[in-house]
Amino acid sequence: MASPVQVAPEAWSVPLALTALATITAILYLRGWIRVRSASPHTIPAWRLGAFMAGLGSLWIAVGSPLVALDEELLTVHMIQHVILMAVAPPLILLGAPALPFLHGLPQRFVRSVLGPGLRWQPLQKLGHTLTNPAICWLSAMGALVLWHVPALFELALRSEYWHRVEHASFFATGLLFWWPVVQPWPSVAQWPRWRIPLYLFMATLPCDVLSAFLAFCERVVYPWYLALPQRFSLPPLQDQECAGALMWLCATLIYLIPAVVITVQILSPTDVNEAQYAASGEVNLSGVDDRFSLPLRPWVAPTASHGPATSGPEVAR
C-alpha cells in the first residue's frame, strides 16, 4: 500500500488564490512592522513578527499544503487541520499584535477614508465588545468543535467543498475568538480579571477530552465516509480514528494547559508586576502616528471605555 507521504504530493496542486492572499497579508504586515520599528524600535519586538508569520504559515499549511490532499482519506490528517486552525494559527497571529502593523502597512487613503470611519462606528464597536466577551468566545469555539464533529455535519463537509470551506472558516474564526481573551492583543482591554484565564483554558480541555476519548475508545468507525473509501494506506479506518482521538487529546492537553500554567506563574510572580509597570511606563515615541492614525484603535473595548493614546498599551510595549 502507498504511504501518505507518497500520495499527498501527487494529488496536490498549489492553491494560487490562497497563496497569493497569504503572501499579500504577510507583505502588508511586514511593511507596517518595518514602519513602526523605524519610528520606535521597542514598540513591536521581532518575536511578534515571528509569531505572526508562523501563524500565517501554519494557516497555509492547514488549508493550502499537501495535507489538503489527504484530509478526505485519513481522519488523523483531518484532525491535524482542525488543531492548526483552532489552536495553533489563531494564538500565533494574535501574538503578532496585528492591529498596528496593518494600520501602518495598508494604504493610508484606505485607512483614513474606509477603515477609520468603520472603526468609529458605534454598532461595530458594540458588536466587537460583545463577541470578544470571554464567555461568548469560549462557547463559540467549543460549540464549533462539537457541532462539526457530529457525524452528519462532519460528512456533509466531506461531501461538499463549500461546506468544507465553511467548516474550516468557522474553526479559524472561533479559534481567533477563543484565544482573544488569552492573548488579549493590543489595543484591546481585558473584560475578565487575569486569574480567570487559567480556568477558562482548563475548561476548554473538557469537551476536547470527551470527544477525543469517544473517538479513541469507540469500537466502531464513527464516520462511515472513511469505510466507503478505497483503502490505499496501511492504516485501517478504526486505527486511524484511534490515532485521531489520541492526537486531539494530546494537543488539547499541551496547547491549553501550558499557557494556563504560564499565566498562573505570571500572576503569582512578583516580577510580573514590575514588568507590567515597566511596560506601562515605557514611552513609545511614534512621531506622526497619532496624527496619521487618529482612529479608535480599540474597536473591541466597551464603547464607554476611556481610550488612551494609541501607542501606550503595555501589550505593545513588551
Q: Which pLDDT tens digits describe the chain residue by residue (318 residues)?
A: 555 544 545 556 777 888 999 999 999 999 999 998 888 777 888 999 999 999 999 999 999 888 887 888 889 999 999 999 999 999 999 999 898 898 888 888 888 888 777 777 888 888 888 898 999 999 999 999 999 999 999 999 999 999 999 999 999 999 999 999 999 887 788 889 999 999 999 999 999 999 999 999 988 999 988 888 777 777 888 999 999 999 999 998 999 999 999 999 988 887 644 444 434 332 333 434 444 444 444 444 444 444 444 433 333 333
Kindly state whether residue 313 falls inside one of the protein's structural domains: no
Least Cα distance to 223 among 214, 234, 232, 210 occurs for 214
Does residue 248 sit in helix, strand or coil? Answer: helix
Angle between helices 75-83 and 46-64 (to 10 degrees): 150
Fill in the DSSP letter of residue 66: G
Tell me, what's the pLDDT at 12?
63
Kindly state whether residue 183 falls inside one of the protein's structural domains: yes
Identify the residue whose cell numbers are 468543535.
145
Tell me, what's the pLDDT at 111?
81
Identify the residue whose cell numbers are 493550502.
64
Tell me, what's the pLDDT at 297?
45
**CB contact at 8 A, 256 and 212:** no
Kindly state whether residue 309 falls inside one of the protein's structural domains: no
Least Cα distance to 202 among 275, 142, 121 occurs for 142
Q: Can you tell me the distance from the alpha carbon of 149 to that of 274, in angstroms, rounded to the nearest whole number?
A: 45
Q: Can you tell me the distance from the alpha carbon of 202 to that of 167, in angstroms, rounded to the nearest whole number?
A: 24
* 42 Cβ contact list (under 8 Å, min separation 6): 282, 284, 317
Tell me, what's the pLDDT at 170?
96
Q: Which residues constitute the domain of residue 259? A: 4-301
Kindly state whether residue 252 falls inside one of the protein's structural domains: yes
Kindly state whether residue 222 falls inside one of the protein's structural domains: yes
The grid coordinates listed for 45 are 519586538
Q: How many CA atoms lie within 13 A of 57 on its CB side?
A: 7
Residue type for 9, please?
P
pTM: 0.81
Kindly state whether residue 310 falls inside one of the protein's structural domains: no
Distance in Å from the first CA to the final CA of the chain: 52
Q: Can you tell me the distance from the alpha carbon of 71 to that of 80, in angstroms, rounded to the nearest whole number?
A: 9
R_g (Cα) of the chain, nearest Å: 21
**CB contact at 8 A, 96 and 49:** yes
Kindly state whether residue 316 falls inside one of the protein's structural domains: no
Task: Using alpha carbons, list the distances in angstroms from residue 270 to 184, 264, 277.
Answer: 21, 12, 11
Does residue 121 sit in helix, strand or coil? Answer: coil
Kindly state whether residue 35 falls inside one of the protein's structural domains: yes
The total of structural domains in the chain comes to 1
Least Cα distance to 182 among 60, 264, 281 occurs for 264
Least Cα distance to 252 among 96, 141, 154, 140 occurs for 141
Q: Can you tell me the distance from the alpha carbon of 22 to that of 55, in angstroms, rounded to the nearest whole number?
A: 11
